[in-house]
Each structure stands twice: as structure tokens, then as C-alpha cells.
């Protein structure tokens, strides 16, 4: 009973007066109400930018040291975490083990709701323990309410094992915030559909995770300018995108970019070849020594 009372007091659980009588509204009115509420999300995230920046630095340091970024969540939060983890290898050419996710209920919860599992602290501890978090890792717990037992317990366990821990939530002074070393709190307020945290809260979480992974990977040098120079050329669309990136970054013709990419095999290697005027082998070696930092690889080859 006490738990239910605490839940009802959370801002993300309260009815939104601006969407009262939603079932009487026309389709356009519903869309306008939701759009107006969604416009508040970016401002909520903006207020948390100092904490987000600190988290980016932690993740950069962890990955640079060979550690991992591990997301933990349940329901919508877990699925958003899984999406960010899944997109990191094709976007930044990272090892799939570098960015991981743990979701209450396991991978089957990606496609079907498994609400009961999120109430188990024991499962949270067990699932994160399987990943063997340590001092080189950063573990990020995501929960709109900030009180999901599975996620709170996982963060507590990861912290006990020496990992740096971060809470991403939409309510102040939550158990998750208290369990973590650092809290990113995006106070988006009541949802258009009361309690449906897949809406504004989910959007805020997605924006935060976008910043954490993209910010850290950019700081590590897996981005050149604002270009995805580490994307994997797995299909025709991505190969065409790779040609365009080489064309823009190296300032060569499209045909020259195409031929160079064919010789280089990857955008990053091709870019080092063209910018530094070196062979594929030299470019590849420079990238290995720079741990994939494209700009650093180009600079080091030019210096030599």
C-alpha cells in the first residue's frame, strides 16, 4: 500500500490538466496537445546538461580504458537502452561488447511485456552480476519513476562491485538517484496519458542516451567533424553514404571517393589515406595505434 501511495505522488504518474477530456478531442486536437507537451521535453533535458556532460566524460574514460557502457532498465526504459546499445556497433564500429544492455525479463521483453520481472530486486542483482561490472565500467540505470526494484538493485550491485553508476530518471529524490553516483533527472511532468511513461519520459530518456553514446564516441575520435566515419558498409545504402562521407571529408570528387573507398575498405582507413597521403597499410596501422581516433591517426602520420 505504501508503495502505491509513493507512486501516486510522482509527477510522472499524476493526471495532466492540459489533456483533461482527451477522449472527447478530435484527432487534430489530440495531436496538438501531444505536440505541445512534447515541446517541453527538450527544455527538461537542457536543465540536466551539466550532469549529462559529466556522464559523457565518465563513459569516455571507461571506454578508453577498455571498459564498457552497460545500460539497465525495464519495460520502455529497457527497450530504449537496447536500441542505443544495438545502434552503437553499426554507427561507430565498436565491438558489440562495448555498449551492452540488461533488460528485466531478458531479450524476450524486447517484443513482449514482462512487467512482473521488473519488481524483483534479486533478478536485477543476478542479471547485472552476470556482466561482472568493475572499476573500468559505467553502468547506467534507466527508470522514469526512479523506483523500479529491478533497476535500483542492479545499480546498487554494480556500484558495490566498483563500477561508476548513473541514474537516468524523471523524478527527483528517487531510490535510483540515491543508489547511483550521478543522477541525470529530466523532470518532464505529467504525461498526456496519465502514467504512460513511454511518452514524454521515454522521449527524454532517448534524448539522454543519444547524448551519452554519441558524446562519448565523438570524444573518443570515432567521429570526424560531424561525420560518421566509422559506419559499417553493410549494404548499398550504407556504401553510398560512405562515399558521400569520404567526398565531404577529403574534399574529393565522388568518383575519386568511390575508388578510394574501394581500395581502403572502410571510411576511416580511406580518410586517413587521402588526408595524409599514405598507403592502406600505413593508414590501418595509424588507426590501430590511435585506438580508432581518426583525427589523431591523420595527425600522427603527417607528423611522422
Per-residue pLDDT at 271: 95
- 174 neighbors 167 (Cβ within 8 angstroms): yes
Q: Is pLDDT of 168 > 90?
A: yes
CA dihedral 168→169→175→177, nearest 10 degrees, is: 50
Domains of the chain, start order: 2-219 (3.40.50.10490), 236-303 (1.10.8.1080)
What cell was used for 59? 563513459
What does the pLDDT read at residue 221?
93
pLDDT band at 191, cuts 50/70/90? confident
Q: Is the pLDDT of residue 5 over 50?
A: no
Return mean pLDDT, the chain.
92
State the pLDDT confidence band at 48, using cuts at 50, 70 and 90. very high
Query: Nearest CA to 14 among 162, 264, 150, 195?
Result: 195
Report d(CA 136, CA 302) in Å as an integer: 32
Asked which of 109-118, 216-225, 271-280 is least confident by mean pLDDT, the reply is 109-118
Is 3's pLDDT higher than 70?
Answer: no
Does residue 2 surpass a pLDDT of 50? Answer: no
**What b/e sequence results for 154-182 when a residue is b if at least 16 CB atoms lie within 10 Å of its CB, and e otherwise?**
bbbbbbebebbbbbbbbbeebbbbebbbb
The backbone region for 292, taken as left when phi is positive above 0, alpha when psi lies in -120 to 50, beta otherwise, is left
Q: Is the pLDDT of residue 15 over 80?
A: no
Q: What is the DSSP code (8-state) at residue 107?
A: G
Higher pLDDT, 214 or 3: 214
Residue 140: all three cell numbers together: 547506467
Which alpha helices (H) appear in 117-235, and where do they start and end? 121-129, 149-160, 175-179, 200-219
Catalytic residues: 87, 118
pLDDT category at 1 given cuts 50, 70, 90 is very low
C-alpha–C-alpha distance, residues 81 and 73, integer Å: 7
Task: Report pLDDT digits (tens) over 81-139.
Answer: 999 999 999 999 999 999 999 999 988 888 877 666 788 999 999 999 999 999 999 99
Three-state secondary-structure class, residue 41: helix
In this prediction, residue 116 carries a pLDDT of 64
Which region among 67-76, 82-91, 184-193 has the lowest average model confidence (pLDDT)?
A: 184-193
Rounded average pLDDT over 268-284: 95
162 CA to centre of own chain = 21
Q: What's the confidence (pLDDT) of residue 8?
A: 63
Edge-to-edge strand ranges of the sheet holding 69-73: 99-103, 69-73, 138-142, 164-169, 182-185
What pLDDT does 115 receive? 67
Q: State yes or no: pLDDT of 264 exceeds 60.
A: yes
Residue with cell 591517426: 297
> How many Cα atoms sit within 13 Å of 32 on the Cβ side?
6
> Residue 289: is its pLDDT beyond 70?
yes
**Among candidates 6, 71, 11, 55, which has minimal Cα distance to 211?**
55
Amino acid at each position: 500500500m505504501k508503495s502505491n501511495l509513493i507512486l501516486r505522488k510522482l509527477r510522472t504518474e499524476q493526471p495532466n490538466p492540459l489533456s483533461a477530456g482527451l477522449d472527447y478531442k478530435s484527432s487534430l486536437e489530440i495531436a496538438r496537445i501531444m505536440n505541445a507537451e512534447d515541446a517541453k521535453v527538450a527544455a527538461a533535458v537542457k536543465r540536466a546538461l551539466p550532469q549529462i556532460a559529466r556522464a559523457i566524460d565518465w563513459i569516455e574514460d571507461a571506454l578508453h580504458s577498455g571498459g564498457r557502457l552497460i545500460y539497465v532498465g525495464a519495460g520502455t526504459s529497457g527497450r530504449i537502452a537496447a536500441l542505443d546499445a544495438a545502434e552503437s556497433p553499426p554507427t561507430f564500429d565498436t565491438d558489440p561488447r562495448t555498449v551492452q544492455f540488461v533488460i528485466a525479463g531478458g531479450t524476450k521483453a524486447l517484443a513482449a511485456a514482462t512487467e512482473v520481472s521488473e519488481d524483483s530486486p534479486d533478478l536485477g542483482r543476478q542479471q547485472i552480476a552476470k556482466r561482472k561490472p568493475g572499476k573500468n565500467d559505467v553502468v547506467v540505470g534507466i527508470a522514469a519513476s526512479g523506483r523500479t526494484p529491478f533497476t535500483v538493485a542492479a545499480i546498487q550491485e554494480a556500484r558495490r562491485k566498483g563500477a561508476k553508476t548513473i541514474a537516468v530518471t524523471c523524478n527527483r529524490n528517487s531510490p535510483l538517484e540515491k543508489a547511483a553516483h550521478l543522477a541525470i533527472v529530466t523532470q518532464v511532468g505529467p504525461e498526456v496519458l496519465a502514467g504512460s511513461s513511454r511518452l514524454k519520459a521515454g522521449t527524454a530518456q532517448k534524448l539522454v542516451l543519444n547524448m551519452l553514446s554519441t558524446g562519448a564516441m565523438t570524444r573518443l575520435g570515432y567521429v570526424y567533424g560531424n561525420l560518421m566515419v566509422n559506419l559499417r558498409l553493410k549494404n548499398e545504402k550504407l556504401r553510398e553514404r560512405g562515399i558521400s562521407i569520404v567526398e565531404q571529408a577529403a574534399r574529393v570528387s565522388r568518383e575519386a571517393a568511390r575508388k578510394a573507398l574501394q581500395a581502403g575498405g572502410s571510411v576511416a582507413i580511406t580518410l586517413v589515406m587521402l588526408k595524409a597521403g599514405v598507403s592502406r597499410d600505413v593508414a590501418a596501422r595509424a588507426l590501430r595505434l590511435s585506438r580508432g581516433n581518426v583525427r589523431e591517426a591523420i595527425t600522427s602520420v603527417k607528423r611522422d
